[in-house]
Amino acid sequence: MRCKKAETMILRSLDGRLDGRAAGDLEEHLRTCASCRKAEAEYRTMVSLLKTGKEEAPLPRFWERLEPRLKEEQKLVPLVLWERWALHAVPVFVAIVVLAAGLFVFTPQTRELSQSEALLLGNANPFSETRRLFEANRPEDKSMMLIFASLDEKPAVRSQRP
Amino acid sequence: MDDKQLVRLAQDGSPEAFEELVRKYQSKVFSMAMSFIRNKEAADDAAQEVFLKVYLALPKFHGKSEFGTWLYRIAVNHVKDVLRKQGRAKEVPLDDVREPSTTDENVLEKNVTARQAEDRKAVVQGFVQGLPEKYRTIVTLRDIQGLPYDEISRVLYLSPGTVDSRLHRARRMLRKKLTPYLSQEGGPHAL
């Protein structure tokens, strides 16, 4: 085993992350390599000095000092509550919008029938009125008839279209 | 009552539940802050700030991770911010870890003479502060705080492999700097 690999294994062994076989290999290497033995000892000393071993308590009356600060922050609670409410409201709002869009898209639309369609629906000849226009001999008459026809407002007929 | 129940109650506005969470975790958060900041008053203030942040962020906590992990993540990030503001988290080139100053050496000599375990620990931990931030964070969480690998991985959003390699590199750097003081044969700086 090379010393570089042995060092990696030493580092792993510090955390107990070395399996039995690897630990055996490392042990064998350490028996024959003085520099790795020294490295291992140094790593172990270093890690033991780094470990605090216990949790330190904060300064006294930690909660008692924190509580007024929290109350101060509670002035922002309406905002926090609104945030919570908004968090739930957003998906509901999105669902409503999607539903409304779906209804709009899939609901049959009503539209105005053209004059010809209305006549056809009433079983009347749609060309009877325009025939006179086509039959006019003089172009001036034709133009005048067209102008008056366009001015002639007829009530729109509404019908359901499947 | 477990954390999940306490968190749910605190989210519903129970101050008692939040107080219980604070009392349960205050030492963990303080110790972690202390490992980084190494000043009781500043670490205590940082711990208070952490719990304020937690209180405000609680409505956004959905329990995707453990409460303790989430709290630790907030704490680590806050402490890093504090250090950055203090200008102590300045990145140091990898091969340029801070050498102990004359003052450090004097302190070290004094502590070696006194042979006080706590002082020795403080000296060694002082060297950790000279590491670049990412290495200092990982050594602090693993070797000083004793967090398990998977917990560090979750707190720092790092893969276990990255935690492993970063920790090994940090320990190598630290040992290189500490070698004169780690001598078993009792060199001039032996701890």
Residue B9 lies in a domain: yes
Sequence ranges of the domains in chain A: 3-50, 110-160
| B67 lies in the same domain as B107 | no
Q: With 90 as the cut, is the pLDDT of residue B135 above it?
A: yes
| B24 lies in the same domain as B70 | yes
| B80 lies in the same domain as B8 | yes
| B66 lies in the same domain as B113 | no
CATH number of the domain to which B49 belongs:
1.10.1740.10
Q: Which of B51, B86, B121 is the last residue of a domain?
A: B86
- The amino acid sitting at A31 is R
Average pLDDT over all residues of chain B: 83
Of A67-76, B108-117, B126-135, B171-180, the range with the lowest mean pLDDT is B108-117
Residue B124 lies in a domain: yes
Q: Which residue from B30, B171, B191 is facing A58, i.e. has the nearest CB?
A: B30
Residue B66 lies in a domain: yes
| B67 lies in the same domain as B126 | no
Residue B69 lies in a domain: yes
Range of the domain at B27: 3-86
| B80 lies in the same domain as B128 | no
**Chain A positions with Cβ closer than 8 Å to B:** 7-8, 11, 14-15, 17, 38-39, 41-43, 45-47, 49-52, 55-59, 62-63, 65-67, 69-70, 73, 76, 80, 83-84, 87
Q: Is B168 on the interface with A (CB under 8 A)?
A: yes
Residue B187 lies in a domain: no
| B74 lies in the same domain as B7 | yes
The ipTM, to two decimals, is 0.75
Average pLDDT over residues B131-159: 92
Q: Is B178 on the interface with A (CB under 8 A)?
A: yes
Of A3-7, A61-65, B100-104, B166-170, the range with the lowest mean pLDDT is B100-104
Residue B95 lies in a domain: no
Q: Which residue from A41, A46, A83 is facing B59, i.e. has the nearest CB?
A: A83
| B173 lies in the same domain as B129 | yes
Residue B167 lies in a domain: yes
Residues in A touching B35 (Cβ below 8 Å): 52
Q: Mark yes or no for CB contact B48/A42 under 8 Å.
A: no
Residue B107 lies in a domain: yes
Average pLDDT over residues B139-149: 90
What are the φ and ψ backbone dihedral angles of A112, each rounded to 5 degrees? -75, 140
Q: With 90 as the cut, is the pLDDT of residue B158 above it?
A: yes
Contact between B121 and B111 under an 8 Å Cβ cutoff? The reply is no
Q: Is B124 on the interface with A (CB under 8 A)?
A: yes
Residue to mutate among B30, B35, B50, B72, with most A CBs inside 10 A, is: B30
pLDDT digits 0-9 by tens, A97-112? 999 998 888 877 666 7
d(CA A14, CA A12): 5
> What confidence score (pLDDT) does residue B188 get?
44
d(CA A146, CA A21): 104
d(CA B68, CA A36): 38
